[in-house]
Amino acid sequence: MTHSAAQSTTEGPLGSAAEVKRHKWWGWGLDDVAFRWDNKPAFAPFAIDKIGLDLPGSTPEPEPTLEGFEVPASRLPEDVRAALSGVVGTENVVLDDELRVVHSFGRSVTDLFRVRTGDFSRIVDGVVYPGTEDEVREVLRLVLEHDLVLIPYGGGSCISGSVTPDVSEQRPILTLNLGRMRRVLSIDDTAGLARVDAGVYGPDLEEQLNAEGWTLGHFPDSFTYSTLGGWAATRSSGMQSDKYGDIADIVRGLRLVHPRGVLALTALPGQSDGPSLREMVIGSEGRLGVITEVTVQVHRLAPVRQVIAYMYPDWEHGIRGMHAIARSTEVSPTFTRLSDGPETTFSLAMVKAPSSTKGKIAATAQDALFAYLRRKGWDTENDMCISYVCFEGSQESVARQERIVKSLVKHNGGITLGSGPGAIYDQKKFDTPYLRDFLLGYDVFGDVSDTATPWSRLNEMHTSAVDAAHAALAELERPGFVFCHMSHSYHSGACLYFTFAFPYSAKEQALSEYQHVKNAIQQAFIDHGGTLSHHHAVGTEHQPWIEQDVTPVGVSILQDLFSTSDPARNLNPGKIVSP
Amino acid sequence: MTHSAAQSTTEGPLGSAAEVKRHKWWGWGLDDVAFRWDNKPAFAPFAIDKIGLDLPGSTPEPEPTLEGFEVPASRLPEDVRAALSGVVGTENVVLDDELRVVHSFGRSVTDLFRVRTGDFSRIVDGVVYPGTEDEVREVLRLVLEHDLVLIPYGGGSCISGSVTPDVSEQRPILTLNLGRMRRVLSIDDTAGLARVDAGVYGPDLEEQLNAEGWTLGHFPDSFTYSTLGGWAATRSSGMQSDKYGDIADIVRGLRLVHPRGVLALTALPGQSDGPSLREMVIGSEGRLGVITEVTVQVHRLAPVRQVIAYMYPDWEHGIRGMHAIARSTEVSPTFTRLSDGPETTFSLAMVKAPSSTKGKIAATAQDALFAYLRRKGWDTENDMCISYVCFEGSQESVARQERIVKSLVKHNGGITLGSGPGAIYDQKKFDTPYLRDFLLGYDVFGDVSDTATPWSRLNEMHTSAVDAAHAALAELERPGFVFCHMSHSYHSGACLYFTFAFPYSAKEQALSEYQHVKNAIQQAFIDHGGTLSHHHAVGTEHQPWIEQDVTPVGVSILQDLFSTSDPARNLNPGKIVSP
């Protein structure tokens, strides 16, 4: 421990732009991966019951083809392209139509709908893939010199419009894809700190860290298609934040290429040196510059990891149980999660048909359990809430915590299901984003909105946001389904994560119908003591609520922060606050 | 837990300015409390050995008298005084000489020396005591209208110059003392959140919270003479930060009276809404406005609290032990502290002569223990390091953690002393500041400098800063004593807190000699991967290192933040960064 820090430096060659991982052009993730309903017996009945979608009787839209759409030509002047090529190499300045489309959208429902319908009136004019911080500095210098717009880009998974260009922007727009900068540069084994290129994707980062016995412990739902720099720039939080912290806790130091030079913040465990520059860069969505390197705290891989499932008769009992776990000074779970009744029903509808004998036995056991719970007076169809809690540590510590939590759950009216369903939850957690593309194929919107609020207001927030969504759907005269889970537990409160789905009436008014429902939920967040988002950033899609969230004075301070750093608005203009 | 939050509102009458607690005009704390050496048998031999101070043969300077000094008249125009009186009441606008002197200085060694020597060339022109946020707004309006300078003031305990006016300031200067705003406004029992007036002193706040079964858990050394608003404005950290967090973790929401209105940040457990405005206000030292209200997370008083003392043969073994405790996922101490050899010697010199039989037995037992350790090969005079670890929780949890830590300590070469010395440490922790005034009475400077750095650099930092201080003393040809403790443990590093003492050669060059030693330590912090201060803010005294700490780009961002909020520099100008 007192030996000098191990410095395991990876100095492999950088890949070219062509090797950088990316989404399919029209949706989430890999080309050959899609959500399937035919292996989930309860899904089709669920869909027709909740949103009137008759899956067996419907044919989804075919996958879109880019050939059918008009992609505007790049506006990048030839001399600028040549200058950029001189900095990063010709193969790393890409003007290709498909890549420009991919980089012009995040993966919000609005983005996905626009891509599917070929709404390409204004897309980025080129994608630049730098390989080093010096190249980023040089690219930024060219951007300022030629009055271009620069949009830093990680994995393109954001759902708040943070990487989408303003359609009224007249200047040439470049996206800066950091994907070639993806190395763990060094690990300080004594401090538990890793210095990492900002462009590394989640799985690649974990693999590099795991190889040295470390983990970051940061697993947002977007994990497979998001990057370290993107997490920092959007103030991300992973599902294991109870133990590992939000990205703002994880990031100890960073390097930002700013219009005036490099802001280099040393990795420190704590400091008293004025307003936190680190906390200004975190969440800045590219408006202050480009994050090129991040120093993160890393943890030794836990010897034992166990996810246990629990069931409560209803939401109120469940929240009481979650609160008791959060208040206990005797346990420190890795994550805690509670689905409300409708989300529990949805989870059950997502279960695959058992193929093995073991699976069939488990399904039978579940039927018996539910029958027993109904005899006890539980409403297993509507109110019952499933919960997952993850424990990590030594065998003894995990066992001790499991015992304590089991007792807290019981004390609050719940029952322990065990590790079987927990393991299933743990495996399928990154598959959900594919569902939205699937639903869009049937003219159905499926989306999420999240907030955080104190423990004292979680029930009020849950009821209010669900009611607001249902009222908005009723105003549209559309069927729809709304559900929620609580996760990301803190001392003073937690995150509530809402999912809603409804079939839009017609393509022409689809987005305005979507906005109507989304707005109702977001406004409920603000009206009931919550924030506009717990971990999905502001971008443009959450911007209508920033003034209510941080007051007009707060907005003016943010405007000043951005306008003094970037007076000509070359850096991702219009995101977070206008102008 | 699901009942609506208890709102225990205190609506007592506000006191007047005369009732607000304050320091003695020339030093720390109460008039009738002072450090005594005559009841500490080892202190006088220690003083002559380490800094050549012959206490029995010396007579301290008499306490200074204000009558002997020239106090400049207030420059506050009569019409402005009248307007301020109209806002807060005549009795709450104070132009009295002694109070203006008290409010013109913090309690740094530089401040204390200036006060003792009557260096009052420029002091504040008046002290205003607002009773409400509306009054603060109205005072700020008058400040801007009349182009005055406003210095927000909590307990005046700061040691970095944050409340001291610039001697070259020509405009009238007001100090805004928040001491009348000292109520716990409400406690949300479910969320564990308390909404509190910013002007409340530490003991008053704990008393109000304890009465409802809660604690803030924030105990900086300055606790008795510092306020919640001051802690937030200077990015403070208390000795129990291992468990309760730094003030930046504790503060969940706040209200700031800013030149453009009130910045109101809702108390939230987590959020993703752009750069953190909360983290911009924390540490802003009055340059963005006046913090009037803070919402803090509070904790239930622990049923059991135990402080255990340990001893290690030397610093390296001690740091290994502390690191092992920090890395263990099985324990979560409330605080962890390790004194180096010289600080351990100093602590032993601070022990009072035993007056009880029990005390005499303990002293004999200690002598026997040290003799045993010497036989084992320990250097009990120079190298041996005392450590304290505090545990809180249920009886079972405290006992379990004690067992684990005992074993970690043993594994790293240390021994467990038990709870006796721990209890003594816990009781006397707030007495240390009085020592500096005592030493100044003998023309001796005693001061502290703190930093934080990763675990991998703690030993290097310890050696380098101690060596730098000794080298600086050698250059001055002064005897001197330097010691250090590690505290405030985090995942990736910890705080190192250095104390140094030396007799200056003559009053005329006292401050330049002080600067020479202080500078050497501060520069070592920066040169070895540390920050300019872990929890003592920037003010003016640490400002020479801010550019090295956050790079020139960081300084320019801070300058922009302040200049756009306060273009005419009315709010505590010159603090943190210039202009």
Question: Could you count the other beta carbons within 10 Å of the beta carbon of residue B337?
Answer: 26
For B311, phi then psi, to 5°, come to -135, 135
Instruction: Report the percentage of chain A scoring pLDDT > 90.
Output: 90
Chain B residues in contact with A255 by the CB 8 A cut-off are none
Which chain B residues are closer than 8 Å to A404 by Cβ? none
Instruction: Pick A279's closest partner by Cβ from B1, B276, B532.
Output: B276
Under the banding of pLDDT at 50, 70 and 90, the label for residue A13 is low
The structure tokens listed for A189 are 């084994």
What was the pLDDT predicted at A4? 36
Yes or no, beta carbons of B285 and A274 under 8 Å apart: yes
B243: confidence class by pLDDT, cuts 50, 70, 90? very high
Quick one: pLDDT at residue B13?
A: 56
- Where would I find the H helices in A502-574? 507-527, 546-565
d(CA A490, CA B252): 11
Q: In which band, very low, low, confident or very high, does the pLDDT at B354 lie, cut at 50, 70 and 90?
A: confident
Nearest-Cα residue of chain A relative to residue B545: A273
Predicted pLDDT at B9: 42
Q: Which residues of B touch A554 (CB under 8 A)?
A: 263, 265, 277
Average pLDDT of chain B is 95
Average pLDDT of the residues in B378-395? 96
Residue B542, pLDDT above cutoff 90: yes
Task: Select the residue from A140, A188, A271 to test the B interface by mutation, using most B Cβ atoms within 10 A.
Answer: A271
Indicate if the pLDDT at residue A2 is higher than 90.
Answer: no
B2, B235, B272, B294: best mutation site toward chain A, by most A Cβ within 10 Å? B272
The whole-number pLDDT of residue B2 equals: 31
d(CA B136, CA A516): 41
- Provide the number of CB pairs (under 8 Å) joining chain A to chain B: 341
Q: Chain A: nearest CA to B438, how far in angstroms?
A: 28
Share of residues in chain B with pLDDT > 90 (%): 90
**Cβ separation B2–A280 shorter than 8 A:** no
Residues in chain A with CB shorter than 8 Å from the CB of B549 are 266, 271, 273
Give the H or E element holding residue B452.
strand B444-454
Rounded CA gap, B341 and B484, in Å?
8
- Give B104-116 pLDDT, tens digit per residue: 999 999 999 999 9
Rg (alpha carbons) of chain B, rounded to whole number: 24
Burial of B75 from C-beta contacts in 10 A (0-12 / 13-18 / 19+): middle
Q: Is B311 helix (H, G, I), strand (E, B) or coil?
A: strand
Q: Tell me the chain A residues in contact with residue B543 when contact means C-beta distances shorter than 8 Å.
A: none
| Chain B positions in Cβ-Cβ contact with residue A576 (cut-off 8 Å) | 274-275
Q: Cα dist. B512→B74, B118, B465, B477, B518 in Å?
A: 29, 17, 19, 14, 10
Contact A454 B188 (CB under 8 A): yes
Q: Do B576 and A260 touch (CB under 8 A)?
A: no
Q: Find chain B residues with C-beta within 8 A of A457's C-beta.
A: 191
| Residue A6 confidence (pLDDT) above 60 | no
Q: What is the mean pLDDT of residues B317-328?
A: 97
- Identify whether the C-beta of residue B561 lies closer than 8 Å to the C-beta of residue B280: yes
**For A285, which residue in chain B has the nearest alpha carbon?**
B274
| Residue range B283-287: mean pLDDT, rounded | 98
Residue by residue, DSSP assigns B465-491 as HHHHHHHHHHHHT---EEEEEEEEE-S
Nearest CA in chain B to A289: B553
Helices (H), B477-545: 507-527
CA distance B62 to chain A (A): 36
Which residues in A lie closer than 8 A to residue B300 (C-beta atoms)? 327
Per-residue confidence (pLDDT) for residue B432, from 0 to 100: 82
CB–CB contact B452 A268 (8 Å) = yes
Indicate the residue of B193, B492, B556 with minimum beta-carbon distance to A454: B193
Instruction: State yes or no: pLDDT of A553 exceeds 60.
Output: yes
User: Over 70: is that where the pLDDT of B8 sits?
Assistant: no
Among the partner residues B284, B393, B531, nearest to A271 by beta-carbon distance: B531
pLDDT tens figures, A95-138 = 999 999 999 999 999 999 999 999 999 999 999 999 999 999 99
The beta-carbon neighbor of B323 closest among A1, A262, A288 is A1
Q: pLDDT tens for residues B409-432?
A: 999 999 999 998 877 777 666 778
Contact A258 B557 (CB under 8 A): yes
Residues 6+ apart with CB under 8 A from A324: A408, A411, A412, B1
Contact across the interface for B191 and A456, Cβ inside 8 Å: yes
Nearest to B456 among A4, A261, A532 (CB): A4
B29-69: pLDDT as tens digits: 998 899 999 999 999 999 999 999 999 999 999 999 999 89
Percent of all residues in chain A with a pLDDT value above 70, rounded to a whole number = 97
Query: Mean pLDDT, chain A, as a whole number?
Result: 95
Contact B276 A276 (CB under 8 A): yes
B chain contacts of residue A547, beta-carbon cutoff 8 Å = none
B456, B533, B561 ranked by CB distance to A190: nearest: B456
Best of B216, B492, B522 to substitute, by most chain A Cβ atoms within 10 angstroms, is: B492
Query: Which chain B residues are Cβ-neighbours of A297 within 8 angstroms?
Result: 491-492
Distance of alpha carbon B235 from alpha carbon B287, whole angstroms:
14
- Return the structure tokens found at A223: 């994990």
- Partner residue facing A260 (CB), from B280, B297, B556: B556
Question: Which residue of chain B has the CA closest to A457?
Answer: B4
User: Which residues on chain B are in Cβ contact (under 8 Å) with A265?
Assistant: 550-551, 554
Residues of chain B in contact with residue A558, where contact means CB-CB under 8 angstroms, are 274-275, 277
Give the residue from chain A lying closest to B564, CA to CA: A560
pLDDT in tens, B494-512: 999 999 999 999 999 999 9
- Smallest CA–CA distance from B7 into chain A, residue: A456
pLDDT digits (tens, 9 = 90+) for A333-359: 999 999 999 999 999 888 888 888 888
pLDDT greater than 80 at residue A1:
no
Chain B hits for A408, Cβ within 8 Å: none
Return the higher-pLDDT residue of A41 and A427: A41
Q: Name chain A contacts of B459, Cβ cutoff 8 Å.
A: 2
Q: If you measure CA to CA, which chain A residue comes closest to B395?
A: A330
Residue A484 has pLDDT above 50, yes or no: yes
Provide DSSP, B214-273: EE-----TTGGG-BHHHHHHTT---TTHHHH--HHHHEEEEEEEETTEEEEE---S---S
* Predicted pLDDT of residue B12: 52
**Mean pLDDT to the nearest integer, A9-38:** 84
Mean pLDDT of A11-34: 86
ipTM over 0.90: yes
Q: Which two tokens stand for residue A478?
A: 């559309």
Distance from CA of B278 to the nearest CA of A (A): 9
Q: Is the dihedral of CA A87, A90, A95, A101 positive or negative?
A: negative
Residue A468 Cα distances to A85, A257, A456, A505, angstroms: 51, 42, 20, 20
Whether A252 and B492 lie within 8 Å, measured CB to CB: yes
pLDDT band at B449; cut points 50, 70, 90: very high
| Smallest Cα distance from B351 to chain A, Å | 32
User: What is the four-CA torsion angle of B71, B77, B78, B80, rounded to 10 degrees?
Assistant: -120
Nearest to A494 among B269, B393, B532 (CB): B269
- Find the CB nearest A274 among B270, B491, B546: B546
Nearest chain A Cα distance for residue B434, angstroms = 24
Q: Which residues of A touch B267 (CB under 8 A)?
A: 454, 492
Choose the closest CB to B550 out of A273, A493, A537: A273
Q: What is the pLDDT of residues A196-220, one digit of tens each?
A: 999 999 999 999 999 999 999 999 9
